[in-house]
Structure 1
């Protein structure tokens, strides 16, 4: 197996995508490489041509998932949209990205693959921080965000809130859904950094965020 991963290889993508489905169905820890190759209907020798180990397979799944997220983000026409429009679209992508890890997967990763879990979460946090920081700078130039915003602090709080929301202990009230938490966090972030012009613009676009409740019911 080459050191440089060829993400354009359709067989590799197929292996990663089908393995994700297996992890959702059976759990990460419950499957070994024999189980995975058998369910994928390929030989273990073929599987090892693409990954070095189960740990390598898990890492590649998350790396591939991150690449797909970056491709989706690249579709946002940054030069044609203002900062609030970009933030709405990017936050919806972040929302979907962060929801992909269910409680069982997070538990298994933390307990049995702690190093991989830490790297995955750190990478996600860095990507989100960079995008939010760029968004704030753009919004300040456009007059939609306050010029006195502490960019590093605001971006850090956004990331921290996003990560915390995915903790099982974050919301103790079972009557409050994840979607409601996300909407409140997003609106609080935007109102905290926006000028009156930015808030007025957001009020016109607020319905797009509110569609989350209907989207995931």
Structure 2
């Protein structure tokens, strides 16, 4: 039952936001009493925390699976982007931004975990890109991996990038091209152009 509550609550939170969904909404959606939910979670905050970690673990496993394929590093970046968007419902409800605003402690814990996972994946991507001649050999991998993570977090700031002006998919497309153009060799740019053309 705990897993069922987690997966259903995750779907509701991602579609409508952490703030607007109540425990009543979740119990009605599941067709169970609130008492049943409270047998597994003390309150809404503990449920939000469990859901956040549940979604994080699912996405982390998926990203690790993509990275394990050791694809062309440029293709890998776009595959990760697509996977994340699909699992976060295109971030229509700005879950990360809402988490930061209404549940700052949970957000802080999650951000540290995200950084650890992304650092490993991005540094591996950058290293392989350099080895394959797609990325410039003189890039500072430690610096770029940290800037990459910080920019990805900033894209989710709805005050800076309102959803009525930019969809999350559009923002990520813009940022990935911006990121790759800054580090690609001529060979890498040819690969990037082919990939962009195939996407459109």
- TM-score with structure 1 length normalisation? 0.74
Cα distance in 1, alignment partners of residues 168 and 12 from structure 2: 25
1:197 aligns with 2:187: yes
Given candidates 144, 148, 155, the residue that maps to 1:154 is 144
Instruction: Specify which structure has the bigger relative contact order, considering alpha-carbon pairs within 8 angstroms and separated by 6 or more residues.
Output: 2
| Alpha-carbon contact 1:145-1:194 (below 8 Å) kept | yes
1:100 aligns with 2:91: yes
Change in Cα spacing, 1:109 to 1:69, as seen in structure 2 (3 Å) is closer
Cα distance in 2, alignment partners of residues 14 and 102 from structure 1: 21
- List per-residue Cα deviations over 1:60-100 (Å, max 9, x = no partner): 11111112112322442644522222122123234445643
Matches within 5 A, 1:71-86: 71-76=61-66, 78-79=68-69, 81-86=71-76
Q: Give how far 1:29 is off.
A: 5.9
Given candidates 125, 147, 155, the residue that maps to 2:115 is 125
- List per-residue Cα deviations over 1:20-69 (Å, max 9, x = no partner): 3444458536624x664455333555434433432221111111111211
1:61 aligns with 2:39: no
Q: Give how far 1:143 is off.
A: 1.7
- Unpaired segments ≥5 residues, structure 2: none
Change in Cα spacing, 1:49 to 1:187, as seen in structure 2 (3 Å) is same
Question: RMSD across aligned C-alpha pairs, in angstroms?
Answer: 3.1
SS state at 1:76 partner: helix
Given candidates 116, 126, 132, the residue that maps to 1:136 is 126
| Alpha-carbon contact 1:88-1:209 (below 8 Å) kept | no
| Alpha-carbon contact 1:165-1:181 (below 8 Å) kept | yes
Aligned length: 198
Q: Work out which of the two has the higher radius of gyration on C-alpha atoms and give 1 or 2.
A: 1
Given candidates 57, 60, 69, the residue that maps to 1:70 is 60
| Alpha-carbon contact 1:183-1:209 (below 8 Å) kept | no
Change in Cα spacing, 1:57 to 1:165, as seen in structure 2 (3 Å) is same
- Unpaired segments ≥5 residues, structure 1: 1-10, 211-217
Cα distance in 2, alignment partners of residues 97 and 22 from structure 1: 13
Q: Give how far 1:101 is off.
A: 6.4
Matches within 5 A, 1:171-186: 171=161, 176-186=166-176
